[in-house]
Structure 1
Amino acid sequence: MSQEEYRNEERRPAQHRSAGHGGKRVAPSHPEGERRPAPRRRRKKRLGAWGVLLYIIFVLGISAILAGVGWMWANDVLALNKAPLTATVQVEEGDTVSDVADKLKEAGLIEYKMVFKMFCALTHVSGQAGEEDAKITPGTYQLDTDMDYRALVSSMGSSSASRMITTVTIPEGQTEAQIFQLLEEKGVSTVEQLEDTAANYDFNFSFLKGVLPLGDAKRLEGYLFPDTYEFYMGEDPVSVLNKMILRFDEIFTEQMRADIQASGHTINDAVIIASMIEKETDGQDQAQIASVIYNRLDNPTSETAGYLNIDATILYATGGTEVDLNADTPYNTRTHTGLPPTAISCPGVDALRAAVYPDDTNYYFYALGDDGLHHFFRTYQGQQDFIATQERYQNG
């Protein structure tokens, strides 16, 4: 094959070359002369000018709405452009962030509860009010619309200056029940919470070890010292009661404790006797009344035979104003010898001192005269003779 023939051979189709060299002829996939169809191209859908305009309007509208909502949320979070308002919010023991959000919304302090809850979640404010690590503490708070979310949360903390304080004066001679009622009226705590705490919380004071066991709310009777206190509104009932017991602990000195024990009596004996003194008199004769009680108590073979015969103990048990001499109760000191089970009031410092340091007398009886003073007697007959001369007793 010449060089030119070789070049012509190279230009032939492959199938022709094969045939020319004895190879098998490959049939073409399309008949000769027929054009292979070109693949179809997908036609792109094009938005018309109107569609583009609608899309732009939609995007701008959504952006405007989101911007507007975001601005309103930001106003609420940062306390911007809010009308001046001051409101009182009560956070209860066990309130969740959701509960607090409801109360803030109801008080008009926030607009968006969901945003407040999101803020609390992001700033790790969680749990229930009163729990150990909770940032929100039970109490009554004075809040206003100038406070942003962060200020609202911090203002509901245990050391907040926004936490409302109330001053409560507890009179001498009030019973535990009367004190609890007063504290509830002042917004400090509820009677139910105080009773439950008094019954079941084990306060760490040694002088409470000899009183009633846990489970009886009267175990603190006599130990809630009457004084003027400042409490947080909605304060933890443990804290409330602990303040009053701690004050008793301060007033009933170590010397008084040593002296009462040296006399053969306990601190609890002194508290019970002081509570009866508080109910019998508020005058200068408390130490004399104390001497009568001790004489009856310590001399069971005397004319009084160990009965204290103090009607105030019966009234404490029955809750009435008329003395039922036959009342079936261990507090009936006319039918039961010795001291009643608990104190019958919360005595003040003078009554406590009288119980520890009674006068040294031989008196077993006393009676209130027309002059408004107590008169004391060694015998029952002496008392009755005196009563016969007093007009106050003549009409029954």
Structure 2
Amino acid sequence: MSEYEERKPAHQGGSGARQGGGSRVAGSQGGQPPRKRRRRRRRMGALGALLYVVLVIGVSALLAGLGWVWAGDVLALNKEEHAAVITLPEDIFTYTEVTDGEGNPSKVSSADMGYVADVLSENGLIEQKWLFRLFAAFTHGDEEIAPGTYNLDTDMDYRAIIKNMSLKSASKTEVTVLIPEGSTAEQVFALLAENGVCSVDELRETAANYDFKFSFLKGVLPLGDSNRLEGYLFPDTYNFYKNSSAVTVLNKMLLRFDEVFTEDMREKAAANGQTVHDIVTIASLIEKETTGDDQTSISAVIYNRLYKQNSETNGRLDIDATIQYILPERKEKLSDADKTIDSPYNTYLYAGLPAGPIANPGQASLRAAMNPADAGYYFYALGDDGAHHFFKTYAEQRAFIGTQEIYNNG
């Protein structure tokens, strides 16, 4: 073997080491470690790809979920039924004078949409304030909205909300109206019409046929009955815009009732086996019978006659105010014939409560209707002193009446 032939293998091995680089010389037995390293890299690459796919799917699902939530808010999808009356004051609007193509000047209003979005959100009408503001910006909704009081509900999408807060729906002249305690619905309608808020016909028609979304109205008189809101138009001092819609006006008073007749009161009534309608009806009777400090005593008479057996009353309330309610005009003194009028409101003819409230009671009467005095009274009569006097028997009442001039002078 020549010297060249003996050195050739060594030269080839060295050449291989040089080609592999310094880091390969220490552990390059047969080239196995590099192949293992490549398999680990392939495994890490597959895991990374899987994590990337999971991340993409997660982000997509999140965005899809958010997109559904946002779309639901914009389009009023799957929202719980809820109505609210909101007021947009003049001071949230700015006015800019512009000129049309013919040189005619006019004013363009622009609403503070941050304020509007806050009010809508606080009243449960929208959830995404930023999205509403964005929608209004793209649709120029801030230029459509006008000062006024509006009746809105969760059936309205963003477009409908803006449309219903437009100049066409608004009235800028505000009036203050005091609704006295004990007013009937017809008296309320007349008072509102007198102040230019709304016409009697529109109020009457809306009261009878509009399906207001309040839980306390469930189980009251059916749609189509003009008396169905009697008792629930809470007497108070209100600010209305002239030429408002009847829905807006009536809804505002119903909202006030909803505030006054609290959840605790509803639970207490239910615990006693009574409905809200029962309590409001009793309160209306109390309201029409007295304005003094004897409301709980009147309440006791009503409860005793309704819920305790008595051979002299037989469950009848015999309250004059229920007859006055069904008469076309109030009478100073009722006749015996009046007391025989066939009506579900006639408490001389029919036992139990009348068909519904006969007036709109105030807060004191509502409290008295839920808290009757602990007394065994079944009768009462008005005395010459202007106060009611209470009795346990009919004989006691008749004896008292015989001594009073107001019953014996005409």
Fold shared, TM-score > 0.5 on shorter chain: yes
Q: What's the secondary structure of 1:255's corresponding residue?
A: helix
Q: What's the secondary structure of 2:177's corresponding residue?
A: strand
Task: Determine the structure 1 residue equivalent to 2:198.
Answer: 189
| TM-score, scaled relative to structure 2 | 0.59
Displacement, 1:320? 2.5
Task: Determine the structure 1 residue equivalent to 2:396.
Answer: 382
1:74 partner letter: E
Paired with 2:272 and 2:161, the residues of 1 have a C-alpha distance of 49
Q: What's the secondary structure of 1:74's corresponding residue?
A: coil
Displacement, 1:264? 2.1
1:277 partner letter: I
Task: Determine the structure 2 residue equivalent to 1:78.
Answer: 105
Task: Determine the structure 2 residue equivalent to 1:239.
Answer: 248
Over 3 Å counting, the alpha-carbon distance change for 1:135 and 1:353 in structure 2 is closer
2:322 partner letter: T
1:166 and 2:175 correspond: yes
Is the contact between residue 144 and residue 163 of structure 2 (CA under 8 Å) also seen in structure 1? no
Q: What's the secondary structure of 2:381's corresponding residue?
A: strand
Compare 326-335 and 353-362 and name the one that shifted more. Answer: 326-335
1:177 to 183, 186, 191: 186
Paired with 1:302 and 1:208, the residues of 2 have a C-alpha distance of 35
Paired with 2:183 and 2:267, the residues of 1 have a C-alpha distance of 27
Is the contact between residue 293 and residue 308 of structure 1 (CA under 8 Å) also seen in structure 2? yes
Paired with 1:309 and 1:385, the residues of 2 have a C-alpha distance of 18
Paired with 1:372 and 1:224, the residues of 2 have a C-alpha distance of 29
Q: What's the secondary structure of 1:273's corresponding residue?
A: helix
Task: Determine the structure 2 residue equivalent to 1:60.
Answer: none
Task: Determine the structure 1 residue equivalent to 2:306.
Answer: 297
Over 3 Å counting, the alpha-carbon distance change for 1:266 and 1:135 in structure 2 is closer
Displacement, 1:260? 1.8
Compare 162-171 and 379-388 and name the one that shifted more. Answer: 162-171
Paired with 1:301 and 1:379, the residues of 2 have a C-alpha distance of 10
2:368 partner letter: A
Correspondence 1:327-346 to 2 at 5 A: 327-346=341-360
Is the contact between residue 225 and residue 247 of structure 1 (CA under 8 Å) also seen in structure 2? yes
Paired with 2:311 and 2:289, the residues of 1 have a C-alpha distance of 22
Task: Determine the structure 1 residue equivalent to 2:292.
Answer: 283
Paired with 2:243 and 2:311, the residues of 1 have a C-alpha distance of 52
Q: What's the secondary structure of 2:227's corresponding residue?
A: helix
Displacement, 1:302? 3.6
Is the contact between residue 296 and residue 302 of structure 1 (CA under 8 Å) also seen in structure 2? no
2:235 partner letter: P
| TM-score, scaled relative to structure 1 | 0.61
Over 3 Å counting, the alpha-carbon distance change for 1:386 and 1:169 in structure 2 is same
Displacement, 1:205? 1.1
Paired with 2:272 and 2:289, the residues of 1 have a C-alpha distance of 23
Task: Determine the structure 1 residue equivalent to 2:316.
Answer: 307
Q: Percent identity?
A: 55
Over 3 Å counting, the alpha-carbon distance change for 1:157 and 1:344 in structure 2 is same
Paired with 1:203 and 1:136, the residues of 2 have a C-alpha distance of 20
1:185 partner letter: E
Paired with 1:252 and 1:387, the residues of 2 have a C-alpha distance of 37
1:316 and 2:325 correspond: yes
Runs of 4+ in 1 over 2 A off after TM superposition: 71-75, 130-138, 156-159, 299-302, 319-323
Q: What's the secondary structure of 1:219's corresponding residue?
A: coil
Displacement, 1:261? 1.9
1:210 and 2:219 correspond: yes
Displacement, 1:300? 4.4
Paired with 1:378 and 1:78, the residues of 2 have a C-alpha distance of 78
Task: Determine the structure 2 residue equivalent to 1:40.
Answer: none
Displacement, 1:319? 2.6
Task: Determine the structure 1 residue equivalent to 2:405.
Answer: 391
Over 3 Å counting, the alpha-carbon distance change for 1:351 and 1:134 in structure 2 is closer
Over 3 Å counting, the alpha-carbon distance change for 1:72 and 1:330 in structure 2 is closer
Correspondence 1:353-372 to 2 at 5 A: 353-372=367-386
Paired with 1:252 and 1:79, the residues of 2 have a C-alpha distance of 47
Task: Determine the structure 1 residue equivalent to 2:68.
Answer: none
Displacement, 1:134? 9.9
Over 3 Å counting, the alpha-carbon distance change for 1:72 and 1:222 in structure 2 is closer
Aligned length: 261
Runs of 5+ in structure 1 lacking a partner? Answer: 1-70, 81-122, 139-153
Over 3 Å counting, the alpha-carbon distance change for 1:372 and 1:267 in structure 2 is same
Over 3 Å counting, the alpha-carbon distance change for 1:296 and 1:74 in structure 2 is same
Q: Give 1 or 2: higher helix fraction.
A: 2
Runs of 5+ in structure 2 lacking a partner? Answer: 1-98, 108-142, 146-150
Post-superposition Cα deviations, 1:60-106, rounded to whole Å, max 9, x if no partner, equal: xxxxxxxxxxx99835x2169xxxxxxxxxxxxxxxxxxxxxxxxxx
Displacement, 1:164? 1.0
Post-superposition Cα deviations, 1:22-42, rounded to whole Å, max 9, x if no partner, equal: xxxxxxxxxxxxxxxxxxxxx
Paired with 1:307 and 1:363, the residues of 2 have a C-alpha distance of 14
